[in-house]
Structure 1
Amino acid sequence: MFRLGSLQGPGPFPDRTSRRPDVIDETILDVAVIGGGPAGLMAAETVAQALGKGAGKSVAVFEKMPTFGRKFLMAGRGGLNLTHSEDLERFARRYAERSGVLSPMLEAFPPQDLVAWAQGLGQETFVGASGRVFPKAMKASPLLRAWLARLEGLGVALKPRSTWKGWDAVGHLLIEDPDGRHVVRARATILALGGASWPKLGSDGAWVPLLRVGGCEIAPFRPANCGFDIGWSDLFRDRFAGEPLKNVALGLGAAKARGDAMVARYGLEGGAVYALGGAARDAALAGGATLTVDLRPDIPVETLERRLHAPRGGQSLANFLRKAVKLSPVEVNLLREAHGLDLPQSPAALAAAIKAAPLAVTGVQPLDRAISAAGGVRFESLDGLFLKGRPNVILAGEMLDWEAPTGGYLLQACFAMGVAAGQAALGRLG
């Protein structure tokens, strides 16, 4: 079993073993990284590459889960969307009110740098039709394996099952692993502890009380990139759950988004839903929101109306809509969910219904089902990425208060913040 004391070596502190009865040993490090997700691992790589292997230099990553990058692997289950190919100015706007603070980090480590980094690990990438960038393997596991091997080759100590328990009375890190509790004295500490979505993968927000003790301001966590709850009828739910809605336009209040969505048993999910953003999510959380669905965003309402003037003959309405405007069974029945079983009969009213089907949103999916989380440490509690009151502690990743839609924006920001955190730690080392 790994003993943290085995990492001791040259450093700014004298090498000694603790005599405290609740502590097994002490470790001296140049940089301690807490959290083994993309931000933490990238921070460790940035530091280790600059310091070089040997010469008493020491970097360690402590991860409370048995393995590293669990949420990263989850992100790759449907094809790992690493980043996006759109121009950087438009890219930065995806972070809404946080675009100003994140833009310098994105400029320092832009999407093309992330692509080159992945290719350096043997993972060729391609740009999909939507502009999203994927590894050709379409999964995260080969990339993660190569990455962890690179880190070990750089001399980074990877320590799973190691949970951060805060600081001791003199400001040293307390780490708990299966052997017991250890003190880690690091010249710089990078906290990349994740948010609070998918807690079973490790990002459960358990660190919040540890930072609040020091007066750190933390915005409450809220689900982001989550599905919207809609009260489907039993018939619709049982028949169409899992069916896609291709190329639709959604609206909720002032928020607009276009893309694909998926009917779920609880409501709607998918890229177009997530792209509505935080304001739409907050409105849905408050209850009483109405989501409008344009089933034919590329066809003007006048064109639809003209097509719906065609003679129906003895056709059923569903069959007529399939032929006249190519509505699928799930789209026809979604119209019935929105407007009642008796759809408008006049061509004008029916065309308007197709362009704006209203669905009552009753809530959103909870944090443990959300792709990411809004909320976290407010940037007002930081000097750059340094935690106010603890000048050797740097924060990065989803534990900070920012959010973005899916499409490569989440991972790109985590990687870019990891690079920025690593560079900040190097600056602290002098």
Structure 2
Amino acid sequence: MTDALVIGGGPAGLMAAEALLSAGRTVTLVEAKPSIGRKFLMAGKSGLNLTKMQAFGPFLAAYGTGLHPTLRSCLRAFGPEEVKAWTEGLGQTTFTGSTGRLFPNAMKASPLLRAWLDRLDGLGLYRHTRWRWVDWDKNALQFDTPEGTRVLTPRVTVFALGGASWARLGSDGQWADRFAAKGIKVTPFQPSNVGLVVDWSDHMPRHFGAPLKGISLYAGDQVSRGEAVISKRGLEGGGVYPLAPSLREGAALTLDLLPDLSLEAVADRLSKPKGKASLSNHLRRVLKLSAAAQAILREFVHPLPDDPSALAQVIKAVPIRHAGLRPMDEAISTAGGVSFEALDETLMLRDRPGTFCAGEMLDWDAPTGGYLLTACFATGLWAGRHAAEYDRP
């Protein structure tokens, strides 16, 4: 008999382990990969965005209108201020960027992960790597390990197996079929926070890698203000990723290349005499449109209208023809997973008492910018705290 078992060594699993250990439970954590926190470390390579420091109302609104009440409760218990305090409690000083995003001063994830594991080890965590969960055998859990098949019968279990993106780092989604086979409702995975496939014309390769800065993007009722990058495969970047929910539903995508100028202001500037200047030079002179922005404009609107008002309209709403989202394994995260219908308000499976779920394996969707990671922390902590109170030895 094992006391408390955590399956998955990402942020949600580690937070669940911390909650269990802090409550005095004896905790074993198992991870399928050779090391802990691989996706967490990858996420921090370009700067570990921990959360978004903003008022709680707008913070919750970023998760969309379909936010489940249980997830809302998790975030109320461990929101931006708690993330900041927890990080600094591990000796990692933080700073808030101009957009409100919170980062550790070290920027990378590795110092934070080392400090976190040191704390957990000091609390008595037992951890094993290269342990892959195979299936349930009644109340027991089977694992493939370097030493062969192992079977554990824990008093409580927290699953934190991740979604179905970045399989090479551990989130391969293979657990979903095993859950579904046991009658647990699992919503099919879909890519989120991912780029778009665009079949470019032969005129575009010289612009690959160029950014489209300060634009606004529209898809359905979603609006995103940020940056996109023209890549060989399509459009990528922080401005594109939040629109995945609407784009998955087939919403049209348009770009406003000059969101800080009104339609009338753009038309007025275009009405200025251009003399002998080419249209490209005129657009650069009166609107400061970059070469990349002009390339996008010409790629999707051809020929460009001569009338200043008509031209202003397409500059403010460039229709982007695309072939859908990039494949799921290229996504930063996935929507879908264990349905909240299968869970009670403590994140315990209704049909498997003592078994809890947390992190990206739950059916929720969040944009990047700290929201994704905060919810992984919050659901891990919530599941761990409730698991700690269940079936004490």
Q: Calculate the TM-score normalised by the size of structure 1.
A: 0.88
Query: 1:362 aligned to 2:330?
Result: no
Match of 1:328 among 273, 285, 290: 290
Q: Quick one: which amino acid aligns to residue 300 of structure 1?
A: S
Matching residue of 1:45: 18
CA distance in 1, matches of 2:311, 2:27: 64
Which has the larger displacement, 33-42 or 90-99?
A: 90-99
Q: CA deviation at 1:243?
A: 1.0
Structure 2 CA distance for partners of 1:86 and 1:99, relative to 1, 3 Å:
farther
Question: 2:353 is paired with a residue of what secondary structure?
Answer: coil
Matching residue of 1:67: 35
Query: 1:190 aligned to 2:158?
Result: yes
CA contact 2:244–2:325 (8 Å) conserved in 1: no
Match of 1:353 among 307, 310, 314: 314
Match of 1:248 among 215, 218, 233: 215
Matching residue of 1:123: 92
CA distance in 1, matches of 2:63, 2:274: 48
Q: CA deviation at 1:199?
A: 0.7
Matching residue of 2:268: 306
Query: 1:35 aligned to 2:8?
Result: yes
Q: CA deviation at 1:255?
A: 2.3
Q: Quick one: which amino acid aligns to residue 331 of structure 2?
A: A
Q: Quick one: which amino acid aligns to residue 216 of structure 2?
A: A
Question: 2:67 is paired with a residue of what secondary structure?
Answer: helix
CA distance in 2, matches of 1:82, 1:402: 18
Question: 2:320 is paired with a residue of what secondary structure?
Answer: strand
CA contact 2:348–2:356 (8 Å) conserved in 1: yes
Aligned residues: 390
Q: CA deviation at 1:137?
A: 1.2
Structure with max Cα Rg:
1
Matching residue of 2:300: 338
CA contact 2:207–2:230 (8 Å) conserved in 1: yes
- Note the alpha carbon deviations across 1:2-35, whole angstroms, 9 max, x for none: xxxxxxxxxxxxxxxxxxxxxxxxxx32110000
CA distance in 2, matches of 1:245, 1:391: 51
**Which runs of structure 2 are paired with 1:195-344 in the superposition (5 Å)?**
195-236=163-204, 238-283=205-250, 290-340=252-302, 342-344=303-305
CA distance in 2, matches of 1:100, 1:298: 36
Higher relative contact order (CA 8 A, sep 6+): 2
Match of 1:105 among 63, 71, 74: 74
Q: Percent identity?
A: 49
Matching residue of 1:412: 374
Match of 1:114 among 83, 88, 93: 83
- Note the alpha carbon deviations across 1:334-361, whole angstroms, 9 max, x for none: 1100112x32112111111210111112
Which has the larger displacement, 271-280 or 152-161?
A: 271-280
Match of 2:130 among 153, 158, 161: 161
Q: Quick one: which amino acid aligns to residue 126 of structure 2?
A: A
CA contact 1:307–1:325 (8 Å) conserved in 2: yes
CA contact 2:161–2:360 (8 Å) conserved in 1: yes
CA contact 1:196–1:203 (8 Å) conserved in 2: yes
Query: 1:395 aligned to 2:363?
Result: no
CA contact 1:308–1:324 (8 Å) conserved in 2: yes
Question: 1:41 is paired with a residue of what secondary structure?
Answer: helix
CA distance in 1, matches of 2:85, 2:233: 40
Query: 1:371 aligned to 2:339?
Result: no
CA contact 1:92–1:102 (8 Å) conserved in 2: no
Cα RMSD for the two superposed structures: 1.3
CA distance in 2, matches of 1:405, 1:421: 22
Q: Quick one: which amino acid aligns to residue 381 of structure 1?
A: A
CA distance in 2, matches of 1:310, 1:98: 48
Question: 2:334 is paired with a residue of what secondary structure?
Answer: strand
Q: Calculate the TM-score normalised by the size of structure 2.
A: 0.96
Q: Quick one: which amino acid aligns to residue 321 of structure 1?
A: L
CA distance in 2, matches of 1:110, 1:420: 12
Match of 2:149 among 160, 168, 181: 181
Structure 2 CA distance for partners of 1:398 and 1:100, relative to 1, 3 Å:
same
CA distance in 1, matches of 2:321, 2:69: 34
Question: 2:322 is paired with a residue of what secondary structure?
Answer: strand
CA distance in 2, matches of 1:420, 1:201: 24
Query: 1:423 aligned to 2:392?
Result: no
CA contact 1:93–1:99 (8 Å) conserved in 2: no
CA distance in 1, matches of 2:177, 2:242: 31
